[in-house]
Amino acid sequence: MLSPSILFFFFLILPYSFGLQLCTDSRAPITLKTPLKFCSYSGSSCCNATDDSAIQKQFESMDISDTSCASLVQSILCVKCSPFAADLFDFEPKVRTVPILCNSSALASSVQSKKDTTGDYCTQVWNTCKDATIWNSPFAPSLQGSDGLPDSSSSKITSFWQSETDFCEAFGGPLGDDSPCFNGSSALFNSTANSPTPNGLCLEKIGNGSYLNMAAHPDGSNRVFFADQPGKIWLAIVPGKGSGGTLSFDESSPFLDITDEVVYESAFGVMGLAFHPNFATNGRFFVSYNCDKVQSASCSGRCSCNSDVDCDPSKLGPDDGTQPCQIHTVVAEYTANSSSSMPSKATYASPSEVRRIFTMGLPFTSHHGGQILFGPQDGYLYFMMGDGGGKGGDPYNFSQNKKSLLGKIMRLNIDNIPSESEIDDLGLWGNYSIPKDNPSADDKELQPEIWATGLRNPWRCSFDSERPSYFICADVGQDTYEEVDLISKGGNYGWRVYEGPLVYNSSSFPGRNTSAASINAIFPVMGYTHSVLNNSVGSASITGGYVYRSTTDPCMFGRYLYADLYAGAMWAGTENPENSGNYSSTMIPFGCSKESPIPCDTVAGTSVLSLGYIYSFGEDNSRDVFLLTSKGVYRVVPPSRCGYTCPLEKTSDGGNPAPSPSSSASQLESRHKSILRIAAAFLVIIYGCL
């Protein structure tokens, strides 16, 4: 058994110590039960025993003439097993056979007569291996994507490369902003300091409406779409920063009105909005919403509680006055082509759907997510689905059931629509096909639509616009913990075995239990406990945001913004080192700009900004970030407008700060840190007794 001191340290760092570990096939690494025999990796790895054996055979077939070189080549081949293999091999734009080797000499002065090769792994490989004979050498240029160069079965490195400089230009890389590098034993990450810590987030109010979804117009303009929960979508023009303007649109003339199809209650309505990457030419866009089969004849689909997942809907009983699968979740396709020959110029769309992409009956009336996003790299539609709700605790363990689509993130190809017979044969839930590289290609037990499992209720996910491999989702907690996850192919995020990093006791529920030992749970990179919040509602529910990529607030650049729906609290997550996936988060104060076009709401009797419920975040084509709240639409503006200082901000008025808005965030932050440590110590006591 681990000592109590080690357990204490483990749980203390647990919420912050797990990074963006990703394999070259976009999967999350597995947790090894025993160390690999040849490559010696233990814990988290992109290889299993079969992969390890294959690498050993490849190495032995090379018959390397120099033992010192052989040792280096073994280490290099085994980098395929690194939990950071995707970044180390940097697959685009050409396939690499050798990971990026740390090359400090690339940073040395060109006039330097002698290079300090301390820690320069690329130089070490060159000096050690340049005269060694290697069969089927991984250093052959043809294997790096070059044409017309020698590809001898047995060659020295000097047969391919004229000098160390040429060699390290091909295989080396400095420790920089774009990717990590391999130093012979592990991955090294950029240690460049982050931008100065933000003093606060400054907001201006530019709209009074209450919306659940926002999407930038695909044409790259200053136009955005807003969708409210009852079923209307508007096309609005965003005013220039500092212009004093507000959102411009005609409320009486929506872009789309599907209120007749949508069932609207507190947990129902339009949940997601996504525009096809080629919308400017094809006019296709998609809406995720809820419908009631009692009210609408077109609201018809299979029940998610069925024999395939060992669930009998007749035993569920009524939920809030509805029967199981009376309410459905729907993804429908619409078009702007019918109103304009140039979809990007369209100001309204036909309310008649083109096709029903997905329909599924819900067992209960909560936790059904519903957000949809197009992947920026693959063009597939990602569909976020909660565990179905009930009285809490995912009573039927849908999230861990590989045959259930509840508690999952799905990935669908909506550009290749199969025939009806193919849909029936494959058991699909609508008009889409399955991407060939979905995790089910490797795990036949998975429903083919599934991309990631073990979510409770993912509420607002986003791709980092500068690093699209970073797919970040906030997942709403149950009793104790709200979490932020880095999503990867085939990843299992633990619910209901875990709530965030904490073991969740689900022994009293009817669904089959899943043991912690049977899954490779990926723990959150950020989050907070409910006890750090101070709100009158007495509840907590995380709202995910964006990695901030605007130049408007340079001190916020690169940080992930997220909030709590009820408490009106916000956090900024910082990754350090860059590209490592290791985050810490800080609760940040926020205030209203002294130049806000619409006066901000304040807490009664105070000057403290009151946002109401923070439903969602939005991002426009300028990468500016918006907050969609129950009290209106807010936009992040330069910090000096609220009296917050940022050394990187260039202000026209000399940067003289206005009086700082009052906020209780700093007190909450202190409590946040204390509670996490207390919780960690409490876990140690529990585990020490096991």
pLDDT digits (tens, 9 = 90+) for 482-519: 999 999 999 999 999 999 999 998 766 777 789 999 99
Residues 54 and 103 in one domain: yes
pLDDT of residue 524: 97
What digits encode the pLDDT tens for the residues 195-251?
A: 788 999 999 999 999 999 999 999 999 999 999 999 999 999 999 988 999 999 999
Structure tokens at 630: 């129950």
pLDDT of residue 153: 62
Three-state SS for 71?
helix
pLDDT of residue 215: 98
Looking at per-residue confidence, does 433 or 685 come out higher? 433
pLDDT of residue 492: 97
pLDDT of residue 380: 98
What digits encode the pLDDT tens for the residues 430-478?
A: 999 999 999 999 999 999 999 999 999 999 999 999 999 999 999 999 9
Distance of CA 39 to the CA centre of its chain: 30
- 164 secondary structure, DSSP code: H
Nearest to 628 by CA among 205, 286, 268: 205
pLDDT of residue 4: 38
Three-state SS for 682?
helix
Q: How far apart are CA 383 and CA 272, in angstroms?
A: 9
What digits encode the pLDDT tens for the residues 350-394?
A: 999 999 999 999 999 999 999 999 999 999 999 999 999 988 899
Residues 353 and 400 in one domain: yes
By the 8 A CB rule, do 103 and 179 touch?
Answer: no
State what percent of residues in the chain have pLDDT above 90.
Answer: 67
Mean pLDDT, the chain, as a whole number? 86
Residue 295 has pLDDT above 80, yes or no: yes
Whether residue 19 lies inside any domain: the answer is: no
Nearest to 423 by CA among 411, 431, 434, 415: 431
Residues 174 and 233 in one domain: no
Whether residue 329 lies inside any domain: the answer is: yes
Cβ contacts of 564 within 8 Å, gap of 6 or more = 482, 528, 533, 535, 540, 541, 542, 543, 570, 614
pLDDT of residue 14: 35
By the 8 A CB rule, do 487 and 452 touch?
Answer: yes
Under the banding of pLDDT at 50, 70 and 90, the label for residue 607 is: confident
What digits encode the pLDDT tens for the residues 185-197?
A: 888 886 655 678 8
Whether residue 591 lies inside any domain: the answer is: no
Residue 176 has pLDDT above 80, yes or no: no
Residue 676 has pLDDT above 80, yes or no: no
Under the banding of pLDDT at 50, 70 and 90, the label for residue 150 is: very low
Residues 167 and 275 in one domain: no
Residues 164 and 268 in one domain: no
Residues 407 and 340 in one domain: yes
- Domain end (from 438, 468, 489): 438
Q: How far apart are CA 190 and CA 513, in angstroms?
A: 42
Whether residue 652 lies inside any domain: the answer is: no
Residues 184 and 226 in one domain: no
Structure tokens at 49: 């025993």
Instruction: Give me the count of residues in the chain.
Output: 690
pLDDT of residue 671: 42
pLDDT of residue 193: 57
Estimate the share of the chain in helix, then strand, then coil, as percent rounded to the nearest 5. Answer: 20, 25, 55
Residues 152 and 300 in one domain: no
Whether residue 303 lies inside any domain: the answer is: yes
Q: Identify the domain containing residue 252 by its residue range.
A: 222-438
Residues 146 and 286 in one domain: no
Structure tokens at 10: 């483990």
- Domain end (from 438, 463, 485): 438
pTM: 0.85
What digits encode the pLDDT tens for the residues 10-50?
A: 333 333 333 478 888 888 888 888 999 999 998 889 999 99
What digits encode the pLDDT tens for the residues 625-646?
A: 999 999 999 999 999 999 999 9
pLDDT of residue 470: 95
The domain total for the chain is: 2
What digits encode the pLDDT tens for the residues 59-96?
A: 999 999 999 999 999 999 999 999 989 888 875 545 68
- 436 secondary structure, DSSP code: T
Whether residue 338 lies inside any domain: the answer is: yes
- The backbone torsions φ and ψ at residue 356, rounded to the nearest 5 degrees and listed phi first, read -90, 110
- Domain end (from 137, 165, 188): 188
Residues 123 and 230 in one domain: no
